[in-house]
Amino acid sequence: MRRKTAGSSAQRGANDGDQASAWEHAAEQDARWCAAVVCLYRCVCIASGDRRGFRYGTRLTGRSWYENVGMYQYQQTHTYLPPRSRGVQTMMFSCSVWSPKGGVGKSTLSINLAARLALETSRPRVLLVDLDTQQSGRTWAAQAKQCGHTVPFDVAASDAQASAYDIVIFDHAPGMLDASALKSQVTLMPLLPSFFDAAAAIKGQADQVAKGRRVMLLPNRLEMNFASDIAFLAGFVGKPYIRKRKAYQATIARGLTIYADKSGIRGLHEARREMDNTIDALIDLAAA
């Protein structure tokens, strides 16, 4: 497996402590500057009687100390790392996208994962197995064909033909599942930043790990302007996560994926990076 980042993960791990405190320090400095600038701005607003501007400044200051520091740290440590999976020789990889909870983004992730993996330089044959009776994957493929888009992977209702493919992604229906029913190397379990979702996902993960499966939790639909979502990520330091983006919804609705070129949809670049980080972590997990 070829990686583009400098240094091994062991070296990175050794430097993590130093880097974290350096970033913490930098983030604090940033937050202080931010608060000072907002303070000055508010003084100008008071002097000129601009009440709207003053309120805007209040909103900014209200967030600066806690959330801006959190945002800064997370952007530095957790996300937008240079994509490592470009050019990876991903052969014979299979992944189940499953969660006991419904509506957590399994189908959206499955479709984009399959699309990303089909772009690998080795041009692997990719199959998306849509195991959900709601047929989200198949509905999306039909929509893509209707809109005249090429689907870069095959979509099927069963894994009967799976042996003819290099990469197989299973999109599961929600609900508890016996781990022995899963035929893939790894399980990707998206979860929303909520107490109930986390509790169900952690239980589901423990059940599967007890049966010897490799499971990766993936926080999904995070809104980084909410302190609670940032706090939620504290349990996933250094792990990939997916932010809430219109790009995911807009592409799916048009029978596209986040890899669609010239679609005019905003946020695709950031979404692709998130997906790259997720795939890197999954491939690392499969190889571990």
Interaction between residue 79 and ligand ATP (CB under 6 A): no
The contact pattern for ligand ATP, residues 163-192, with x = CB under 6 A and - = no contact, is: -----------x------------------
42 versus 221: smaller Cβ distance to ligand ATP: 221
Site residues for Mg ion, window 34-93 (CB under 5 A)?
none
- Note whether 259 and 116 are within 8 A (CB): yes
Interaction between residue 21 and ligand ATP (CB under 6 A): no
Q: What's the DSSP call for residue 168?
A: E
Interaction between residue 130 and ligand ATP (CB under 6 A): no
Instruction: Report how far apart the first and last C-alpha atoms of the chain are (Å, whole number).
Output: 12
Q: Which of 90, 185, 208, 220 binds ligand ATP (CB under 6 A)?
A: 220
Part of the chain binding ligand ATP (CB under 6 A), chosen from 59-67, 70-78, 105-113, 275-283: 105-113
Interaction between residue 185 and Mg ion (CB under 5 A): no
Q: In what order do the strands lie in the sheet with 126-130?
A: 154-156, 126-130, 167-171, 93-97, 186-191, 214-219
Interaction between residue 101 and Mg ion (CB under 5 A): no
132 versus 229: smaller Cβ distance to ligand ATP: 132
Q: Which of 106, 116, 243, 272 binds Mg ion (CB under 5 A)?
A: 106
> What is the tally of helices (H) and strands (E) in the chain?
9, 6
Please, what is the minimum distance in Å from the beta carbon of residue 173 to ligand ATP? 6
- Note whether 86 and 276 are within 8 A (CB): yes
Q: What's the DSSP call for residue 66?
A: I
The Cα angle at residue 284 between residues 121 and 138, in degrees rounded to 5 = 60
- Note whether 189 and 147 are within 8 A (CB): no
- Note whether 82 and 5 are within 8 A (CB): yes
Q: Which of 45, 242, 279, 283 binds ligand ATP (CB under 6 A)?
A: 242
* Token duo for residue 66: 């806690």
Site residues for Mg ion, window 114-173 (CB under 5 A)?
132, 136
User: CA torsion sign, 257 to 189 to 215 to 71?
Assistant: positive
Phi, psi of 218 (to 5 degrees): -130, 105
Q: Which of 213, 244, 254, 273 binds ligand ATP (CB under 6 A)?
A: 244
Amino acid making up residue 75:
Q
Interaction between residue 252 and ligand ATP (CB under 6 A): yes
| Site residues for ligand ATP per CB under 6 A | 102-108, 132, 134, 136, 174, 220-221, 242, 244-245, 248-249, 252
